[in-house]
Amino acid sequence: MRGAPAPGRHGYVPDDRVPSARAAAAAPPAAPAPDVLLDWFDRHGRDLPWRRPGTTAWQVLISEVMLQQTPVVRVLPVWQEWVARWPTPDALAAEPAAAAVRAWGRLGYPRRALRLHDCATVLRDRFDGAVPADVETLLTLPGVGDYTARAVACFAYGAAVPVVDVNVRRVIARALHGAAQPGAATTPTDRADVAAALPADPQVAARYSAALMEYGALVCTARSPQCDSCVLPRCTWREAGFPAQEGPWRRPQRYEGTDRQARGALLAVVREADGAVSRAALDAAWTRDPGQRDRALHSLLTDGLLEQTDAGAFALPGEHGHRG
Ligand code: SF4
């Protein structure tokens, strides 16, 4: 007699012992069905301010740029400050780029602040202050890549276009393709997988995209997927017994001691100062490796995040009239 099924590594009972799962396994895996995912999203999705009705396309654009490389919890207060201070592209474009860099605070990857400022300027000058609705036009904006263009078209305007971030790619890689982790970059196949599952109604499609993203962020996470409470009826990775990742795991990027940390330390000194900052003040901000400090300073100047004044001091862009 067959014994009681033992839970799998993630507390899951293998499919071949569950009759309903056996029936479901007859169909080829597909992206999660909208009804299952939307029901989960209604119950468990986070109430994030940029998802609320009435959020403008400009506010959605800001949120998408901020969220690309920064966790939600750190983005929330900065996004709220930005949309209150600059409710329209014109409002941001009316201030020097330094204001955007300063208000970016410690979100990291501060070139995004400059790009948003550039984007606001283009929206004011070429689009009468409106954010375009179609992906092709959005792609012409500074700092707007394929993901951001699709996210704005979908979440701000309800366009039924696949929006594929790293969380979506992870769910697709596991549920459809049996891989522990997605590949290095979004592929046309990822988009096609999601496009095939998008509901016809654009508003429902937009919500489906948000739900799929949220599922990857909260349930099908990179390190500890909650497979024992997963609502998806099929998962190829689970059905295959959770095979290990082929090749090395991509380790989270180290921050301590990196050039990026050195850049952050130098930029923080200028951001928190009232006026231009001397070279000596910057030298004091990063003493552990003078060569690394010089490299960081050079890259900040090259990126346009700092400018050198005529007196040889350092300032944020536009505060001393170099950038409009
Ligand atoms: S989709 Fe993700 S959470 Fe669900 S069973 Fe597969 S790996 Fe686990």
Q: Which residue has the higher pLDDT, 119 or 19?
A: 119
Q: In DSSP terms, which residues pair with 314 in a beta bridge?
A: 277, 308
| Distance of CA 223 from the midpoint of ligand 1 (Å) | 11
Count of other CB atoms within 10 angstroms of residue 106: 12
Detail the DSSP E strand segments found in the chain.
Answer: 307-308, 314-315
pLDDT tens, position by position, 86-138:
999 999 999 999 999 999 999 999 999 999 999 999 999 999 999 999 999 99
- Residue 299, domain member (yes or no): yes
For the chain, what's the residue count?
A: 324
Q: Which residue has the higher pLDDT, 289 or 13?
A: 289
Which band of pLDDT confidence, cut at 50, 70 and 90, is reported for residue 200?
Answer: confident
First and final CA of the chain: distance in angstroms?
79
Q: 37 in ligand 1 pocket by Cβ < 6 Å?
A: no
- Residue 284, domain member (yes or no): yes
CATH assignment of the domain containing 265 = 1.10.10.10
| Distance of CA 220 from the midpoint of ligand 1 (Å) | 5
- Residue 179, domain member (yes or no): no
Q: Which domain holds residue 293?
A: 259-315
Residue 321 has a pLDDT of 56
- Residue with the smallest CA separation from ligand 1 atom 8 is 227
- Residue 310, domain member (yes or no): yes
Count of other CB atoms within 10 angstroms of residue 232: 20
- Residue 222, domain member (yes or no): no
- Residue 162, domain member (yes or no): no
Please indicate whether residue 64 is annotated as part of the active site.
Answer: yes
- Residue 273, domain member (yes or no): yes
pTM of the model: 0.86
Q: 227 in ligand 1 pocket by Cβ < 6 Å?
A: yes
Half-sphere exposure of 282 (CA within 13 A, CB side): 27
| Distance of CA 176 from the midpoint of ligand 1 (Å) | 10
Residue 97 has a pLDDT of 96
Q: Taking Cα atoms as reference points, which of 244, 291, 273, 215 lies closest to residue 39?
A: 215
- Residue 82, domain member (yes or no): no
pLDDT tens, position by position, 130-179:
999 999 999 999 999 999 999 999 999 999 999 999 999 999 999 999 99
Residue 319 has a pLDDT of 82
How many domains are contained in the chain?
Answer: 1
Which band of pLDDT confidence, cut at 50, 70 and 90, is reported for residue 5?
Answer: very low
Q: Taking Cα atoms as reference points, which of 41, 316, 76 lies closest to residue 167?
A: 41
Statement: residue 11 has pLDDT above 50: no
